[in-house]
Amino acid sequence: MLEVRELSVGVRSGGRLVPLVERISFTVHAREIVGLVGESGCGKSITAMALMGLLDSSVMHVEGSIRFRGQELVGLSPRHFRKLRGRALAMVFQDPMTAFTPVYTVGWQIDEQIIVHEGLSRRQARQRTLGLLADMGVPDPQRTADSYPHQLSGGLRQRAMIAMALSCRPQLLIADEPTTALDVTVQAQILDLLRNLRRDYGSSVLMITHDMGVVAETCDAVAVFYAGRVAEIGPSQEMFSRPAHPYTAALLASIPPLIGPRPHRLPAIAGAPPPPAQRPVGCAFASRCSFARDTCAKPVALHGMNPEHQAACVLSPDQLVFPVPCDD
Ligand SMILES: Nc1ncnc2c1ncn2[C@@H]1O[C@H](COP(=O)(O)OP(=O)(O)OP(=O)(O)O)[C@@H](O)[C@H]1O
């Protein structure tokens, strides 16, 4: 369905190219939910924008390959990208107000999307809009369709945006932090909705998040991003039970337990990722890693526990014994 190979994105700055994303590879199979996870600034959104053809080519340079259902997207013209977007490829954002304009009703905007892409009449489009809103668990679809975006709660707006993204039955939905702005109950409902998309619509989902808890709830496979590179990639179950990169382990340690007493405080990762212009050639996590040693200063490629589960760490999983969260 989607194969990203050695994808790099750089920004032109002061006569040189600063790498924002470096040689990223991952695959999304049909009906699969894949997570891109990592702290703020590690390149998740830039990757998503490259997939959607939304990067400004006068500022950003894209290299490598993005094959979507056999079609190469790197170098695709804006006109061809426009045809794909909203149809085969769709995206939902953290803030639905970026998807909706405030001056038209939500229903009118979803209708428009359907009319433009599928040539249905306004009446037929409205039927589909109401059906989509109902599928998204909107209690009163007619009323929601007739509302302006600012009249809806955050949860309803998010459902309406997902309905709009699904209006032309995309094969791949990219969800960029779709639940971050929502309270915990609504968050769980939206994640449920995304999980059901493959069953109800046959869609694959690329889930972008900084939250390992969201990955645990939804994703079949996950790529852990750190400072513009993939630190670890693999099936989520396997990665959760046996992380092979200290950064993954640190992210996992920051998920609150679902059952039992919650630790007094969750371990946070001290420090911050290096900014793009200051990334070292070796492991960019080394300066924050309790396992760091001299060899971490050399570049390290992803290598495998098995062909599917790979990490870019000089240590083998046996050498990585991670502390469990303490309860002090
Ligand atoms: N237009 C731009 N020009 C220059 N640098 C940029 C631009 N957009 C993003 N960056 C930089 O690229 C890096 C990756 O940003 P990106 O938004 O992809 O991170 P992210 O992992 O999605 O973080 P967040 O979770 O905060 O959205 C960051 O260091 C960011 O400052």
pLDDT tens digits for range 265-288: 555 677 888 998 889 999 999 999
The size of the chain, in residues, is: 328
Ligand 1 centroid to residue 307 C-alpha, Å: 30
d(CA 256, CA 239): 17
Give percent above pLDDT 70 in the chain: 94
User: Which H or E run includes 13?
Assistant: strand 2-13
Q: Which of 105-114, 157-166, 187-196, 207-216 has the highest mean pLDDT?
A: 105-114
Ligand 1 centroid to residue 181 C-alpha, Å: 19
What residue owns the CA closest to ligand 1's atom 24? 40
Q: Residue 48 has what pLDDT?
A: 93
Pocket of ligand 1 (CB under 6 A): 11, 20, 38, 40-46, 210, 275-276
d(CA 131, CA 2): 28
Q: Residue 259 has what pLDDT?
A: 52
CB burial class (10 A; 0-12, 13-18, 19+) of residue 328?
A: exposed
Q: Residue 328 has what pLDDT?
A: 44
d(CA 127, CA 123): 6
3-state secondary structure of 67: strand
3-state secondary structure of 286: helix
d(CA 319, CA 242): 12
Ligand 1 centroid to residue 292 C-alpha, Å: 26
Average pLDDT (19-42) is: 94
Q: What phi and psi, each to the nearest 5 degrees, are found at residue 122?
A: -55, -40
Per domain, the residue ranges of the chain are: 2-88+170-319, 93-169
d(CA 20, CA 48): 13
Beta carbons within 10 angstroms of residue 282's beta carbon: 16
DSSP class of 296: G
Ligand 1 centroid to residue 316 C-alpha, Å: 31
- The CATH class of the 2-88+170-319 domain is alpha beta
Q: Which of 44, 232, 213, 7 is nearest to 222 (CA)?
A: 232
Q: Which of 143, 2, 9 is nearest to 68 (CA)?
A: 2
Predicted complex ipTM = 0.94
d(CA 305, CA 91): 32
pTM: 0.88
> Per-residue confidence at 55, pLDDT binned at 50, 70, 90?
very high
Helices of type H across the chain? 44-52, 78-84, 106-118, 122-135, 141-145, 154-166, 184-201, 212-218, 236-241, 246-253
Instruction: Please report the atom of ligand 1 found closest to the CA of residue 43.
Output: 18
Pick from 45, 98, 174, 226 the residue to mutate for probing ligand 1's pocket: most ligand atoms within 8 Å of its CB: 45
d(CA 122, CA 140): 20
At residue 21, does pLDDT exceed 90? Answer: yes
Beta-carbon contacts of residue 129 (< 8 Å; ≥ 6 apart): 107, 110, 111, 114, 141, 145, 163, 167
d(CA 198, CA 193): 10
Q: Residue 230 has what pLDDT?
A: 96
Instruction: Please report the atom of ligand 1 found closest to the CA of residue 276.
Output: 29
CB burial class (10 A; 0-12, 13-18, 19+) of residue 147?
A: middle
At residue 264, does pLDDT exceed 70? Answer: no
